[in-house]
């Protein structure tokens, strides 16, 4: 991916990075007693408002997203209303959740270490475990998988494994800049000034990190994306700009001041493209293809060449006890054979400007927030929260591109086609009580 494509996404945020560096966010936001913001158990996090010890009304960032996008979807899914989720999620739609689970486990071991380090082995194990659990749940509900469904699961397994491996190679040098303070932190905090209304704000930090050089803290937020390219570049649909423009970063930054002694300066987003890089393609005349269409990165290519070298050593019959230095020699000759392909990949310069780093597979963007923005986020949270908790809130559909991945499309279509009477039966048969706050369906950003 060329620089200008990613730069196009980032241009409009340049002002923000310029203006915010060095700004202090703090003080009046650190007002709540720690007992109200202790790390929650899953049950506490999921507790519906009426069961809350505070008798509160919980405003969740994902719920708010649904509320702003489509009131009908929100009405079916929100814990403030029907609190439903699909009983079974189709394979492509649960992928993002499995990746998040794997990333969380991959970073757990390094909490408190000198610098962050992604444990690939643990992440791969967690990814497989998550899928296994989900497939088991699906089989319990629908019976054994069809052959094509098994193939889809295999595809997802291979894609996830390749993405996580590629991520570990890409993130390794970047992670050395940060210290991991915590992963997967679910929080629920009262909205200041509205305690008597019982309004609380809930969310989940994928990670909490410290920039070793500056001592600044950031909330780490992962997003899976269909593509890193933006619409402006003429590529496939990509809504990374929308995520960066959204209020999540300001709202989470404000919440970090309620949860941690040292609040975050903002959110460090890491976008991951749902795509696997190509393996090196050997040519009959020797060497490797240097076609410009190859999807890869230098780090991945070098890793793949090492794997090829290991295979060659094993098939040479010297696998058990190869002579000292043999693997290094084979690897060096593969690197030499791939010099042309590697130079093509190097020409696709990766974007790097401070902490903004990206290629066609991954993009890291820090969103620093200043006090004015936190005030704005707080006002929006309270305003939307009051509307969401009002019994007078009207429910109506708002159709658009987002309907393509709406998990309530079937009952919604029934209403559109005049079969409203069948909706309760569908909701009863294909949906159950909501058991999570984070969306199992990761939007195709």
- Cβ atoms of 189 and 60 closer than 8 Å: no
Q: Residue 109 has which token pair?
A: 């071991």
417 SS3 class: coil
User: Should residue 88 be labelled a site residue for ligand SF4 when binding is judged by CB under 6 A?
Assistant: no
Query: Which of residues 73 and 370 has its CB atom nearest to ligand SF4 in the complex?
Result: 73
For residues 116 and 402, give the distance between their C-alpha atoms in angstroms, rounded to a whole number. Answer: 35
Quick note: the x/- pattern for ligand SF4 over 397-426, rule CB under 6 A, is xxx--xx--x-xx--x--------------
d(CA 330, CA 326): 6
> Considering the rule CB under 6 A, would residue 72 count as an interface residue with ligand SF4?
yes
Strand partners, 205: 185
Cβ(405)–Cβ(441) below 8 Å: yes
For the bound state, the minimum distance from the C-beta of residue 158 to ligand SF4, rounded and expressed in Å, comes to 31
| Dist. CA 441–CA 407, nearest whole Å | 8
Alpha helices in 390-441 (DSSP H): 409-416, 423-430
With contact defined as beta carbons under 8 Å apart, do 351 and 6 qualify? yes
CB nearer ligand SF4, residue 227 or residue 407: 407
User: Considering the rule CB under 6 A, would residue 67 count as an interface residue with ligand SF4?
Assistant: no
User: Does 70 contact ligand SF4 by CB under 6 A?
Assistant: yes
Contact 97, 90 (CB under 8 A): no
Task: Specify the residue for token string 């270490």.
Answer: 113
Nearer to ligand SF4, 89 or 265 (CB): 89
Stretch of 38-46, 65-73, 89-97, 167-175 lying at the interface with ligand SF4 (CB under 6 A)? 65-73
Measured from the CB of residue 190, what is the shortest distance to ligand SF4 in angstroms?
30
Binder among 5, 57, 60, 73 for ligand SF4 (CB under 6 A):
73
Q: Closer CB to ligand SF4, residue 32 or residue 403? A: 403
Q: Which is nearer to ligand SF4, 19 or 398 (CB)?
A: 398
Number of residues engaging ligand SF4 in binding (CB under 6 A): 12
CB of 146 to ligand SF4, least distance (A): 26
Q: Per rule CB under 6 A, is residue 81 in the interface with ligand SF4?
A: no
Burial class (CB in 10 A: 0-12, 13-18, 19+), 129: middle
Q: What is the DSSP letter of 177?
A: T
What phi and psi values does residue 179 have, to the nearest 5 degrees? -110, 135
Query: Which residue number, 72 or 134, has a Cβ lying nearer to ligand SF4?
Result: 72
List Cβ neighbours of 197 (8 Å cut-off, separation of 6 or more).
Answer: 57, 386, 389
Q: Which stretch binds ligand SF4 (CB under 6 A): 26-34, 45-53, 106-114, 393-401?
A: 393-401
Nearest approach, Cβ of 377 to ligand SF4 (angstroms)? 24
Angle at 115 between CA 109 and CA 117, to 5 degrees: 45
Smallest distance, Å, CB 204 to ligand SF4?
Answer: 23
Footprint of ligand SF4 (CB under 6 A): 70, 72-73, 397-399, 402-403, 406, 408-409, 412
């Amino acid at each position: 991916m060329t620089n200008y494509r990613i730069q196009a996404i980032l241009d409009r945020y340049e002002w923000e990075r310029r203006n915010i560096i060095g700004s202090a966010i703090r003080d009046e936001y650190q007002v709540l007693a720690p007992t109200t913001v202790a790390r929650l158990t899953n049950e506490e996090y999921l507790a519906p408002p009426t069961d809350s010890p505070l008798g509160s009304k919980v405003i969740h960032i994902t719920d708010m997203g649904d509320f702003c996008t489509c009131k009908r979807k929100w009405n079916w899914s929100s814990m403030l209303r029907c609190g439903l989720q699909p009983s079974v999620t189709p394979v492509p739609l649960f992928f993002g959740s499995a990746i998040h689970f794997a990333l969380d486990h991959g970073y757990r071991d390094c909490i408190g270490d000198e610098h962050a380090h992604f444990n690939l082995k643990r992440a791969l194990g967690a990814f497989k475990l998550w899928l296994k659990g989900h497939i088991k749940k699906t089989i319990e509900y629908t019976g054994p998988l069809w052959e094509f469904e098994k193939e889809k699961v295999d595809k997802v397994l291979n894609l996830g494994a390749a993405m996580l491996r590629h991520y570990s190679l890409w993130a390794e040098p970047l992670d050395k800049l940060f210290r991991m303070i915590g992963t997967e932190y679910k929080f629920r905090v009262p909205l200041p000034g509205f305690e008597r209304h019982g309004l609380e704000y809930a969310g989940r930090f994928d990670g909490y990190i410290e920039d070793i050089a500056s001592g600044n803290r950031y909330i780490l937020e992962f997003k899976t994306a269909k593509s890193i390219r933006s619409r402006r570049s003429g590529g496939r649909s990509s809504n990374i700009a929308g995520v960066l423009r959204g209020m999540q970063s300001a709202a989470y930054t404000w919440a970090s001041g309620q949860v941690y002694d040292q609040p975050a300066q903002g959110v460090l987003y890491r976008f991951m493209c749902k795509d696997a890089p190509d393996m090196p393609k050997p040519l009959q005349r020797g060497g490797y293809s240097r076609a410009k269409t190859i999807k890869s990165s230098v780090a991945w290519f070098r890793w793949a060449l090492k794997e090829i070298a290991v295979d060659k050593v094993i098939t040479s019959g010297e696998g058990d006890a190869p002579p000292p230095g043999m693997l290094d020699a084979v690897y060096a000759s593969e690197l030499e054979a791939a010099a042309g392909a590697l130079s093509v990949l190097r020409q696709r310069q990766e974007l790097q400007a401070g902490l903004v780093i990206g290629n066609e597979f991954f993009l890291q963007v820090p969103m620093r927030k200043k006090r004015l923005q936190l005030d704005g986020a707080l006002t929006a949270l309270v305003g939307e929260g009051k509307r969401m908790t009002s019994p007078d809130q009207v429910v109506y559909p708002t159709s658009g591109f987002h309907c393509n991945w709406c998990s309530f499309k079937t009952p919604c279509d029934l209403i559109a086609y005049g079969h409203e009477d069948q909706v309760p039966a569908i909701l009863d048969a294909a949906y159950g009580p909501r058991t999570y706050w984070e969306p199992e369906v990761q939007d195709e950003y």
